[in-house]
Each structure stands twice: as structure tokens, then as C-alpha cells.
Amino acid sequence: MPDSCEYTAGPWATALAVSNYKAEEVSTIMVNDQAATRQAIITALKKKGYSLVERSSWQAKPPTGTLNPGWDYTDIVIHHAGHSYSCAINTQGAIKQIRQAQEYDMGKMDDIGYHYAVSCPGDIFEARDVRFEGSHVKGDNTGKLGIVLLENLAEAGEAWQQEYRKKSIWDKLRGSLDIARDAVAYDRESPTQAQISALAALIETVQEYFHITKLGGHREYQLLAPGNEGRACPGKFGMQVVKQMRSRFSLAVPSK
């Protein structure tokens, strides 16, 4: 895998032009395989009756920098979009949400951090191209495929309990807006059946292409990552989804 793997918004299967260098031919084939796998995931979902909304279809912004190559995923990490995300009522609404999520993430990194997003009405979005490592668990993203559920699945007070309670007074002050929103959680929702079905189809499909052994919520993974930090994500209701998916697909809890 060359580390110069360029992000191209054009047709995926074309990949890189073959050079006359033998050493490079090998890596060119690998890039092509990955493009084919990305496409195969889209096709497999379609066969199951789910259309994956590609980046070009939701007008994703191109990454602002070079992303690290990522592959060989073994873990699925479930997130929720959190405060200020209410369930979208249709695909148009969900497109606005994924664009908002990308906008937010690009305020601190080169692209949206997750690989896929699933809306309340059951749309599945391609977020960060699966050929690149995600940025969704602080300090530990290798082999981790990130999926975000596009609503707030935390109960009031969860961010305080899981995250801010143990922090310094300065971090509490910095997070005061977040803490205030968390205290009310007026927008928290339960996942819809359409969303659960779409998420299950996505997990099942991803398992056909990667050797996935573990699945967990962001909070579980963040506790294992350097710094052992607490996170509310994906919230109490998101953790119910996590447990449901773990048993449905016989996946293990996160471990080091």
C-alpha cells in the first residue's frame, strides 16, 4: 500500500495509472482491490434492498489533507451524532445531517471521522472512504470501522456521568455548553426500526469483506485507548443497539 494513496472523487475502479515500475505494479493491484471491495459493499447492500448514498451523492467536501491509508478492519465502533441531532424525517433531512457532521469534523480534522452513517429513516451513507483510516476513537483508530447513528441516543446527564465528572475544573468550564445541553437532553431519541434494520444490513455486509471479530460503543473503545478517557457516546440507547448487534452477529466485546 503506497502511502501516497491519493483521494480521488472520480470513478473508483480506475484507481491509479499503472507505471512501468514492477515494484509499483503490486501496490497498484492492491489499490484496485480496495476500490473493488468498496464497490462490492455498495453492490451487496443494493442486493439486500439498501442503497448506500455515496459521498458524491451527498456532495461531500473533498478532504483537506492527506488521509492515512486504512484497511484490515477487525472492529466496528458504534457512535451517535449526539446533541443537536434530532431524527431526520426523510433522506433530504438526513443529507443535511451528514453534511453538518462533515462540516463539524472538518473543523478539527481533514474529513468526516466515521466511515458510514445511518439515519433514522434508514439511509446508509458513505462517510470517510473505507480505504482510509477513520478518526473516531481518540488515539486508537487502527483496524476500526466507525459507524455513526445520526441522532442523540444519550439520556440527560450521561456526558456528565461518563465524561466530565472526573475532569479538571478547566475542562468542565471548557465543556460547560456541552454539560448544559446534556443536563436537558431534550432531543434524545430511540433508534427507529428502519435504522436498526439498515445498520444490521450494513454490519452483515461489512462482515462479508472484513474479518470483523469485535463490536462496541465508542465509550467502550475510548476507555481502552491511550488516556483511558470516558465518553458518553453512543449514549444509553446507543449501547442497547450495540448489545443487540453484538449478540445478533456473535461478535466479542472490545478488548486490547
**Which residues would be at the binding site for Zn ion (CB under 5 A)?**
79, 218, 233
Shortest reach from residue 233's CB to Zn ion, in Å? 3
For residues 234 and 241, the answer to whether their CB atoms sit within 8 Å is yes
Q: How far is the CB of 111 from Zn ion (least distance, A)?
A: 16
Sign of the Cα torsion 164, 165, 167, 169 reads positive
Pick the closer one to Zn ion by CB: 28 or 175.
175
Instruction: State the minimum distance, in angstroms, from the CB of residue 140 to Zn ion.
Output: 12
Say if residues 158 and 136 touch (Cβ distance below 8 Å). Answer: no
Residues 6+ apart with CB under 8 A from 171: 164
Q: Which residue has the cell 449526539?
A: 82
- Report in angstroms how near the CB of residue 106 gets to Zn ion at its nearest: 16
Which CB sits closer to Zn ion, 79 or 144? 79
Cell 472523487 locates to 9
Looking at the Cβ atoms of 38 and 218, the one nearer to Zn ion is 218
Nearer to Zn ion, 55 or 218 (CB): 218
35 vs 216 by CB, closer to Zn ion:
216
CA distances (Å), origin 185, targets 155, 181, 238 = 6, 6, 14
Query: Under the phi-then-psi rule, with left for phi > 0, alpha for psi from -120 to 50, and beta for the rest, what region is 88?
Result: beta
**Sequence-ordered strand ranges (E) for the chain:** 52-53, 75-80, 116-118, 124-126, 144-149, 214-217
- Judged by beta carbon, residue 128 or residue 218, the one nearer Zn ion is 218
In whole angstroms, how close is the CB of 82 to Zn ion at the nearest point?
8
d(CA 221, CA 216): 7
Nearest approach in angstroms of CB 135 to Zn ion is 11
